[in-house]
A and B are shown apart, each in its own frame.
Chain A
Amino acid sequence: MRKTLFLGLLAIGLVGISPAQQKKQPTKKEAGVKPEEVRQVLLSGFEQDPKFLWKLEQDESQRICSQYPSREAMPAQAIQKVIELDNKNIVYPQWGIFWGDWKEGKKLVDSPRGGRFASYGFPIKPPTRAGTATPATS
């Protein structure tokens, strides 16, 4: 139960949004390329390991953010919308206990791997020392 203390803007899963609101957003999409084609090309470029394919599912806030060339170019309204969407996904711990095992959290912070994974050249076990991006030593 204590491990549910992840308060962040990382949202997984779909949250509904009315299509009328979406139309107002200025889309960067070019004519001639369908989203399905893009999706197909995208999926072709990754190893089909079912353990990691969930990472390629786009949620609504990610879809909104994808429409703007950079975070500088994102209008305040869209930012507000994304904050609202992701606030809904924050799961507060049951029983009102907000203070978890901080040592578990420290392990996550100290880990240099930080959720990165590739099937080439890297050991599954995270290294004990952090601070370098060199694959040979990590």
Chain B
Amino acid sequence: MRKIFLTSAVFGLACAGLLGYQTVKAQDQELSPEEEIRLVQEFNRMMAEGINPGEIWAEMGKEAFKKYNLDKCDFGLGPGKVEGALAQLPRYFPDAKKVMDLETRIGWCLQQYAGMTPEQVKKFATQCWGKSQCMGEYDAIVMYVSMASNGQKVNVNLKNPQVKRMYEIGKQIYYARLGPWDFNCATCHAGQQEVRIRATKLWSADRPGEAGQAVSIFPKYLVRWAQPMTMHYRYAECMRQMRWPTFEPHSDLAVALSAFLYGTANGTEIKVPGIGR
């Protein structure tokens, strides 16, 4: 019952947004492309200021967090303590003997405390990938834990040699050109010149502060899919568009990229959930 209510709430919001956009479009038939882009950005800004449907997932996540025994999970601040957890991740965990970011840690804890096998964890984490209007419990857990760090500043401890090593590896992978189309992350996310995909302006690692703004709002609610996008799903989608093989969530590659991105974003205030087109 509760799920039906939540789903209809999301649909309602999405429909309202779509209607608003349609009326804006209908009024301005003879606009230049630049004007249209400006209007879409205005719509996004209004959505950003108003209610964010991503918060519904946080409510769901609060229940799922208990359901999967994650209150035993230590995010680096003590068992079950989620306030400020995202701000200090990725970090080195002595119990797993690995550097882990938030989602990898959740996956590890699901194996330890919820009795899942690695295959089950992967299926659980990717249940909403490639879909839209999907209410996933995994997305909900990530959203709940992330939102508990709202207002805190990203503070990855790069003095730790293990984290620093992952940071350097992530940096090299960021600039590694691979695949049949010669892509690297820097193809789109580097340089002083502005790069766009359609109307969306892409952040650049070379323009100061932009990496932080991009990273600190994840998981991010996407209006066009009517569901949130977690960081690992973002990596997977980027790599699909780069014509690389299918990305594996909770892998060392994801941790290395997270270490590089969150390490670069040090000092930025976390504002979860973000909202995007």
Q: Which residues of A contact B (CB under 8 A)?
A: 9-10, 12, 28-30, 32-33, 37-38, 40-42, 44-47, 49, 52-53, 55-56, 58, 61-63, 65-73, 114-122, 134-136
> Is the beta-carbon distance between B177 and A65 smaller than 8 angstroms?
yes
> Is the beta-carbon distance between B131 and A72 smaller than 8 angstroms?
no
Least distance between A57 CB and chain B CB atoms (Å)? 8
Question: What is the interface of chain A mostly: helix, strand, loop, or mixed?
Answer: loop
B171 within 8 A of A: yes
Instruction: Choose, from B6-14, B33-41, B150-158, B242-250, the stretch at the interface.
Output: B242-250
B225 within 8 A of A: yes
Question: Considering only CB atoms, which chain A residue lies closest to B225 in the complex?
Answer: A134
> Is the beta-carbon distance between A135 and B131 smaller than 8 angstroms?
yes
> Is the beta-carbon distance between A47 and B248 smaller than 8 angstroms?
yes
Cα distance, A120 to B240, chains bound together (Å): 10
Q: Return the CB mask of B113-152 against A: 1 if under 8 Å, else 0.
A: 0000000000000100111110000000000000000000
Instruction: Choose, from B77-85, B184-192, B265-273, the stretch at the interface.
Output: B184-192
* Size range of the chain B interface in the assembly: 35 or more
Question: Considering only CB atoms, which chain A residue lies closest to B204 in the complex?
Answer: A70
29 A-B residue pairings within 8 Å (CB atoms) = A9-B182, A10-B180, A29-B172, A30-B168, A30-B172, A32-B168, A38-B173, A41-B169, A41-B253, A44-B252, A44-B253, A49-B246, A62-B177, A65-B177, A65-B182, A65-B184, A66-B176, A66-B177, A69-B186, A73-B191, A118-B246, A119-B246, A120-B130, A120-B246, A121-B129, A121-B130, A135-B130, A135-B131, A136-B132
Q: Which residues of B contact A (CB under 8 A)?
A: 126, 129-133, 165, 168-169, 171-173, 175-182, 184, 186-187, 190-193, 205-206, 224-225, 236, 240-241, 243-248, 251-254, 256
> Is the beta-carbon distance between B247 and A46 smaller than 8 angstroms?
yes
Instruction: Give chain B residues whose Cβ lies under 8 Å from the Cβ of A71.
Output: 187, 190-191
Least distance between A30 CB and chain B CB atoms (Å)? 5
> Is the beta-carbon distance between B175 and A120 smaller than 8 angstroms?
no
Cα distance, A62 to B242, chains bound together (Å): 14
Least distance between A60 CB and chain B CB atoms (Å)? 11
Instruction: Give chain A residues whose Cβ lies under 8 Å from the Cβ of B132.
Output: 134-136
Least distance between A16 CB and chain B CB atoms (Å)? 18
> Is the beta-carbon distance between B175 and A66 smaller than 8 angstroms?
yes
> Is the beta-carbon distance between B243 and A115 smaller than 8 angstroms?
yes
> Is the beta-carbon distance between A42 and B253 smaller than 8 angstroms?
yes
Which of A47, A73, A122 meets B130, CB within 8 Å?
Answer: A122
Q: Known contacts A56-B244, A66-B184, A72-B191: does B253 contact A45 (CB below 8 Å)? A: yes
> Is the beta-carbon distance between B253 and A55 smaller than 8 angstroms?
no
> Is the beta-carbon distance between A46 and B244 smaller than 8 angstroms?
yes
Kindly list 16 other residue pairs between chains A and B, CB separation below 8 angstroms, not including A44-B251, A69-B205, A71-B190: A10-B180, A30-B168, A42-B253, A45-B252, A46-B244, A46-B247, A49-B246, A52-B246, A62-B176, A66-B176, A69-B190, A70-B206, A72-B191, A116-B240, A117-B243, A118-B246
Least distance between B66 CB and chain A CB atoms (Å)? 28
Instruction: Give chain A residues whose Cβ lies under 8 Å from the Cβ of B240.
Output: 116-118
Question: Considering only CB atoms, which chain A residue lies closest to B251 in the complex?
Answer: A45
Interface centre among A12, A71, A121, by most chain B C-beta atoms within 10 angstroms, is A121
> Is the beta-carbon distance between A70 and B190 smaller than 8 angstroms?
yes
Cα distance, A137 to B133, chains bound together (Å): 12
Least distance between A111 CB and chain B CB atoms (Å)? 13
Least distance between A106 CB and chain B CB atoms (Å)? 20
